[in-house]
Structure 1
Amino acid sequence: MIKGKQRSYLKSLANTMNPIMQIGKGGVSETVLDQIDDLLEARELIKISILNNAGLDAKEVAVEVCEQLGAEYVQSMGSKIVIYRRSEENQKIQLPR
């Protein structure tokens, strides 16, 4: 579980990021989860865009993905979500204490 100060730090990092993945009307499938898992392992912090035609709530998608992949929900902004999971092999982000 990340703390408030750490969440704020991750939000500031995500502020300048572009979404690197989109979730469409197919929703959160096993393939999508595998792709997100790979991205989290490589980058630790990712921003995902939920397409308008998907008809999905961004926060609900974020919570579902985080539960299934053991990630941390950072924030949702409109149709974009930010999630974080510390990588065991590729640690790139040093969180404040």
Structure 2
Amino acid sequence: MVEKLSKKELVKQGSTISPTIHVGKEGVSEGVIEEIKTQIKRSKLIKVKVLPAAGEDIRDVASELAKLAEVKCVETRGFTILLCDPKIAEN
């Protein structure tokens, strides 16, 4: 059984990792969604960097990524989104 982690624990773990996916001027594309799904399966916790060229609000991008990739948005900070596998996050 997988141990559930609190938001505080997830943010603490997330502070040690670097963004591995960048959302650019094309915005949220199918390729970005597939890459998020692949990386979440492998590492359970990832960071996504939204470049200013995307021209979208960070919260809108975060909710769209979470919905389409079926992951949980842990936190948005600046231009960075922390996503995790919903199986490891407390509700």
TM-score (norm 2): 0.85
Following TM superposition, by how much is the alpha carbon of 1:65 offset from its aligned partner in structure 2, in angstroms?
Answer: 1.0
Q: Does 1:13 align with 2:13?
A: yes
The residue number in structure 2 matching 1:73 is 73
**Which residue of the partner structure matches residue 23 of structure 2?**
23
Q: What does the per-residue CA deviation read over 1:50-96, in whole Å, with 9 as the maximum and x for residues that have no partner?
A: 11111121221111111112211100011000010157xxxxxx768
- Following TM superposition, the consecutive aligned residue runs of length 4 or more in structure 1 with deviations greater than 6 angstroms are none
Match of 2:39 in 1: 39
| Matched residue type, 2:48 | I
In 2, the alpha carbon distance for the partners of 1:79 and 1:95 equals 22
CA-atom RMSD in angstroms:
2.1
Letter in 2 for 1:59: R
Instruction: Please tell me the residue identity of whatever aligns with 1:23.
Output: V
TM-aligned CA distance change 1:8 to 1:47, over 3 Å: same
Note the residue ranges of structure 1 that are not aligned, 5 or more in a row: 88-93
Matched position secondary structure for 2:6: helix
